[in-house]
Amino acid sequence: MSATKITELRSDIDELNELLKQAKRKKVQDILSLEIRKLETELISLKESEKNENAMEVTPIPTTSSQSQKRYQIKLNGYGWDQSDKYVKVFVTLKNVHNIPKEQVYCKLTERSMELHVENLENKDYLLVINKLLNTINVEESHWKQKTDMVVIFLAKSRQNIKWSHMTEIEKKFEDQRNNRFKPTESEKADPQESIMSLMRNMYETGDDEMKRMISKAWYEGQQKKKTDTLDL
């Protein structure tokens, strides 16, 4: 999810930079520049968060070892996925997972979620949870396999031959919101300045008090300039 959001933020920043090139008024340029800086700050924060996630959250869990040795649970966040007409395949990389007994690698599945459990791999437990799958799966026909340094989960599609655009509902909603936010109307396509004004309206509705103050000031000064230009004529 973090990787997807980082990609989307980069796209947003690139698009705002294109609008900034088209903007003619300084106040509008300042507002667009402020929004770009905010998104760039969010992007940096997400990158830092992703680094922490890659380090993986480590939590001690109790164990019944005769030597009272603690085992740790590591919550996994990263995975890859692909699909065929029948399955959505989830790929989870874990070094040496092929060396442990099959009963220590298992999944808990529902129609809209999956949990991968890997127990006692080099004295660590691993957990990957994916909730709110985009579509339903057939639990009985789903299965998983241990491969060299990897576990592959085969999630059987309830409706075969239906292509999944995303792994989860959340990822799809995030992309739809981003696309709708910057999707220009027909009039905006014909007039780049109208596209900028539409973006500013959206920024005003969703922005903080400082953003609203700047946009209101830019609009007021723009109206005053129009009146001055009319009087000059």
Chosen domain end from 157, 176, 199:
157
pLDDT at 138: 95
Residues 6 or more apart whose Cβ sits within 8 Å of residue 52: none
Q: Would you say residue 65 has pLDDT above 50?
A: no
pLDDT at 115: 95
- The answer to whether residue 165 is domain-embedded is no
Looking at the fold, whether 119 and 27 belong to one and the same domain comes out as: no
Q: How far is CA 155 from the centre of its chain?
A: 21
Looking at the fold, whether 223 and 198 belong to one and the same domain comes out as: yes
Looking at the fold, whether 72 and 148 belong to one and the same domain comes out as: yes
Report percent pLDDT > 70 for the chain.
73
Looking at the fold, whether 74 and 135 belong to one and the same domain comes out as: yes
Report percent pLDDT > 90 for the chain.
37
- The answer to whether residue 72 is domain-embedded is yes
Looking at the fold, whether 102 and 141 belong to one and the same domain comes out as: yes
Chosen domain end from 111, 140, 157:
157
Helix (H, G, I), strand (E, B) or coil at 197: helix
Looking at the fold, whether 114 and 88 belong to one and the same domain comes out as: yes
Provide the token pair at 201: 């309206």
pLDDT at 147: 93
- Which residue type is seen at 70? K
Distance from C-alpha of 15 to C-alpha of 191, rounded to nearest angstrom: 16
pLDDT at 193: 65
Provide the token pair at 88: 């959505």
**How many CA atoms within 13 Å lie on the side-chain side of 80?**
7
- In CATH, what number is assigned to the domain containing residue 89? 2.60.40.790
- Across the range 197-224, mean pLDDT stands at 72
Q: What confidence tens digit (pLDDT) does each residue in 88-120 have?
A: 999 999 999 999 999 999 999 999 999 999 999
Q: Which carries the bigger pLDDT value, residue 96 or residue 21? A: 96
Residues 6 or more apart whose Cβ sits within 8 Å of residue 172: 134, 165, 166
Q: Flag whether the pTM goes above 0.75.
A: no
Q: 47 lies in which domain range?
A: 2-54+184-232
Looking at the fold, whether 32 and 62 belong to one and the same domain comes out as: no
Q: How far is CA 60 from the centre of its chain?
A: 28
- The answer to whether residue 172 is domain-embedded is no
Q: What confidence tens digit (pLDDT) does each residue in 136-183 have?
A: 999 999 999 999 999 999 999 999 989 999 999 888 887 777 666 655
Looking at the fold, whether 146 and 102 belong to one and the same domain comes out as: yes
Residue 194 confidence class, pLDDT cut points 50, 70, 90: low
Contact of 85 with 161, CB cutoff 8 Å: yes
Distance from C-alpha of 172 to C-alpha of 167, rounded to nearest angstrom: 8
Tally of domains in the chain: 2
User: Checking phi first, is residue 68 left (phi over 0); if not, alpha (psi -120 to 50) or beta?
Assistant: left
Please name which of 224, 214, 222, 219 lies closest in space to residue 31, comparing C-alpha atoms. 214
Looking at the fold, whether 61 and 144 belong to one and the same domain comes out as: yes
Looking at the fold, whether 25 and 92 belong to one and the same domain comes out as: no
Q: Would you say residue 228 has pLDDT above 70?
A: no
Looking at the fold, whether 70 and 153 belong to one and the same domain comes out as: yes
pLDDT at 53: 59
- The answer to whether residue 177 is domain-embedded is no
Q: Would you say residue 67 has pLDDT above 70?
A: no
- The answer to whether residue 176 is domain-embedded is no
Provide the token pair at 118: 């890997």
Secondary structure percentages of the chain, helix, strand, coil, to 5: 50, 25, 25
Please name which of 25, 7, 42 lies closest in space to residue 221, comparing C-alpha atoms. 25
